[in-house]
Amino acid sequence: MRYKVKSQLYSDAESQLKGSKQILDDCTWSSCAAAVSWASGYTVDYTAAQGVAAFEKATGRKDKQGISDAGGSLKEAAQTIAVLGGKARYAKSWEDAVAAAKGGAALMVWVQQPIGYQAGVPISKWHDGWKRYWTKTDPKKITDGYGHMTSAGYDPVDGWQWACPTRDEKVAAEKYGVPVTEAQLRQIANSKVKAGKVSADFKCLLIVTHPGKVAAPAPVAAPVVVPAPVVAPVSAPAPAPTIVVQTPISKPKEVPMAKSTKTAAVIADAEAALQRVDWDDKGKEAFSALVEAAKASNGKKGFRAKAAASLGWIIANTGIDEMVIEALRTGLGTGLAIALASGSQITRLDADQADMIFAGAIAACLQVIVRALNPDDPKFGIGKAKAEIANGNGPHK
């Protein structure tokens, strides 16, 4: 299950003002809405605006438009979560928070963005655009960071996901939380420690639960099959000696295998994911990379030298080579695993067996390609070492 972002970019009127007039002070209440929705298993699904309304009801404070006055604390977040129907408690340790998240809870993560964030964890385009502006006009916003509230959740399939409310939920690339590792999420929570605001990372966390969460159905036990008693054959009198002519051993009849519906589902999911890719944006990224690769060949003489320089730049600054290698490795490994699990003989495959193995390998390759086309995935993609090439946005206006 993907973690939905509740964007403070749309929480109220002041958040939608342009340029320096824009006021974003609803990060806590937007994150409360996201956390309670996730913790409920989306049996309730709140908007950022509903989070702001719950804050006003919980605290008695009114968010005045045009004034930065709606910042909140973990205590007020807990009060707001209660109004939204959830329950919040402080984490007792990092391990306590991890165990709760793996049990279906959401985490409110109070940060000093972007201090200490690891490379490879994408921050929102909103922040990235303003980062260029702050670097020139207010560098302390980068070196000292700024107080901010985010949220996160864990899913057995999609793993850890971190949701910053400055992400734009109306843009496909930012609609969901960023995939992160547990270590990366802990580093993000540790930003408050690095800034000297708290003494331990778990003190920046609230554990959020909701009674609407529906537990997964218990697995159905397989029926116990009692084997029939074995009856010893009655021995017959020995026949008279005869000359035995050995008949050819016939090949046992093979039971045709059913095609894997799971593989078809994986391929369908991958196709759907490919349809959601912003191909216009990908084209711009590819064009930018080609331009930079061409620049790398300047000064080289001869076609081979120019090609080597351009190829070397692509390998060093994009994830294309890693994507190809990973796709081939994953596809080959998956195909062999399916063949071994089914007991198929590689040299004697019939059409159905070959089709099943090939489909599984293609599905595995497609999943890698989908990851590579996801701008939020830290492993692949243009900008691994030259992030500025892929992100052409200037300061947010």
**150-160 residue pLDDT tens:** 999 999 999 99
The verdict on 271 and 191 lying in the same domain is: no
CB 70 within 8 A of CB 39: no
With 50 as the cut, is the pLDDT of residue 216 above it? no
Each residue's pLDDT tens digit, 122-165: 788 888 887 887 888 888 877 888 889 999 999 999 999 999 99
The verdict on 31 and 135 lying in the same domain is: yes
With 80 as the cut, is the pLDDT of residue 61 above it? yes
The verdict on 107 and 182 lying in the same domain is: yes
Give the end of a domain, one of 193, 209, 225.
209
Split at pLDDT 50, 70, 90, the class of 345 is: low
> Which of residues 28 and 17 earns the better pLDDT score?
28
Q: Which helix (H) or strand (E) is 46 found in, with range?
A: none
> Which of residues 49 and 247 earns the better pLDDT score?
49
Give the end of a domain, one of 209, 229, 245.
209
The verdict on 159 and 39 lying in the same domain is: yes
Split at pLDDT 50, 70, 90, the class of 48 is: very high
Each residue's pLDDT tens digit, 227-256: 555 544 444 444 444 344 443 444 434 434
99 belongs to a structural domain:
yes
The verdict on 157 and 52 lying in the same domain is: yes
237 belongs to a structural domain:
no
> Which of residues 392 and 340 earns the better pLDDT score?
340
The verdict on 287 and 149 lying in the same domain is: no
Provide the number of structural domains found in the chain.
2
The verdict on 200 and 304 lying in the same domain is: no
pLDDT of residue 347: 63
User: CATH no. for residue 142?
Assistant: 3.90.70
Reading the block at residue 180, the tokens are 């992160």
Mean pLDDT value of segment 192-205 = 90
Strand ranges (DSSP E) for the chain?
87-90, 106-113, 146-155, 159-163, 178-180, 205-209
218 belongs to a structural domain:
no
pLDDT of residue 275: 63
The verdict on 150 and 282 lying in the same domain is: no
222 belongs to a structural domain:
no
The verdict on 174 and 268 lying in the same domain is: no
Write 44-47 long-range contacts (CB < 8 A, 24+).
44/84, 44/85, 44/210, 44/212, 45/4, 46/6, 46/84, 47/6, 47/10
The verdict on 202 and 281 lying in the same domain is: no
62 burial level (CB within 10 Å; 0-12, 13-18, 19+): exposed
Each residue's pLDDT tens digit, 169-182: 999 999 999 999 99
pTM of the model: 0.54
Each residue's pLDDT tens digit, 364-390: 777 767 666 665 555 555 444 444 434
Average pLDDT, the chain: 76
133 belongs to a structural domain:
yes
83 belongs to a structural domain:
yes
| Angle value at C-alpha 138, between 134 and 141, nearest 5 degrees | 75
Percent of the chain with pLDDT over 70: 70
pLDDT of residue 63: 86
pLDDT of residue 130: 78
**Residue 40: Cβ within 10 Å count:** 23
> Which of residues 343 and 178 earns the better pLDDT score?
178
The verdict on 72 and 191 lying in the same domain is: yes
Round to whole Å and give the CA distance between 112 and 122: 15
Give the end of a domain, one of 194, 209, 224.
209
User: Who contacts 48 (Cβ-Cβ below 8 Å, separation ≥6)?
Assistant: 6, 7, 8, 10, 11, 26, 29, 30, 33, 165
154 belongs to a structural domain:
yes
Sheet holding 146-155, edge to edge: 87-90, 205-209, 106-113, 146-155, 159-163, 178-180
Domain that holds residue 360: 261-390
CB 296 within 8 A of CB 289: no
223 belongs to a structural domain:
no
The verdict on 275 and 204 lying in the same domain is: no
Mean pLDDT value of segment 13-22 = 78
